[in-house]
Chains A and B, each alone.
Chain A
Amino acid sequence: AQSVTQLGSHVSVSEGALVLLRCNYSSSVPPYLFWYVQYPNQGLQLLLKYTTGATLVKGINGFEAEFKKSETSFHLTKPSAHMSDAAEYFCAVSEAGGFKTIFGAGTRLFVKA
């Protein structure tokens, strides 16, 4: 069975600081990996995804994530946080070629001025 663990339900950073949101997954087959963001009072939207190929993937708003098979990780980073990045972030996994998507519990990002 697949699962996702997001380390830290809340992360607080200062504006301009590095953002690092951690995600570890468990999958018995090659995974597809996703990061979604949920801004206050809005629906979830896709930030980025890894399916095959290059393990460093770039997404919207300056975010990127690296698939590390040996560490079963897919951490999300952004070099410089902006106030508008304050939101809840969800890591998700599905089987390659499959459809059932498993989400982590989410990490709420706070950005301090």
Chain B
Amino acid sequence: GAGVSQTPSNKVTEKGKYVELRCDPISGHTALYWYRQSLGQGPEFLIYFQGTGAADDSGLPNDRFFAVRPEGSVSTLKIQRTERGDSAVYLCASSAQGVGEQFFGPGTRLTVL
């Protein structure tokens, strides 16, 4: 595709449920980032992948959050036992190299009831 895509665009779930959010980066981009953006705030760094490995996961808030990128392309952000405070827009970005321009997807709006 032409840009970064994220699915679903909206996800509504109940407290305690498990959710998966998917990111398809731009083809050939080796670097992939996940961010969380709460209302009125800037994107908050969660995790960065270079290829298949998580090079920096220091932004994951706790062990309920986990992300994978098994083949170095598509990535999935997984949230276990969701809490109302997890409600936010989850953004994915990719870049051709680690410190190059990041291209952002449209985000997944997660609502935990």
Contacts and interface: CB of A to CB of B under 8 A. Distances in A.
Contacts of B99: 32, 51, 94, 96-99
Nearest to A102: B45
Nearest to A108: B40
Contacts of B105: 43
Nearest to B48: A99
Q: How extensive is the interface on chain A, given as a class?
A: 20 to 34
B53 interface: no
B101 interface: yes
Nearest to B105: A43
A36 B98 CA distance: 17
A45 interface: yes
Contacts of B101: 46, 49
A67 B43 CA distance: 22
Nearest to B58: A100
A63 interface: no
B25 interface: no
Interface string B49-70: 0100001101100000000000
Given A44-B43, A90-B43, A105-B42, A99 B56 contact: yes
18 contacts: A9-B40, A36-B104, A44-B43, A44-B91, A45-B104, A46-B102, A49-B101, A51-B99, A90-B42, A96-B99, A99-B48, A99-B99, A100-B48, A101-B33, A103-B35, A105-B40, A105-B41, A106-B40
Given A92-B42, A103-B35, 5 more contacts: A4-B42, A43-B107, A98-B99, A100-B56, A103-B42
Interface of A: 4, 9, 32, 36, 42-46, 49, 51, 90, 92, 94, 96-106
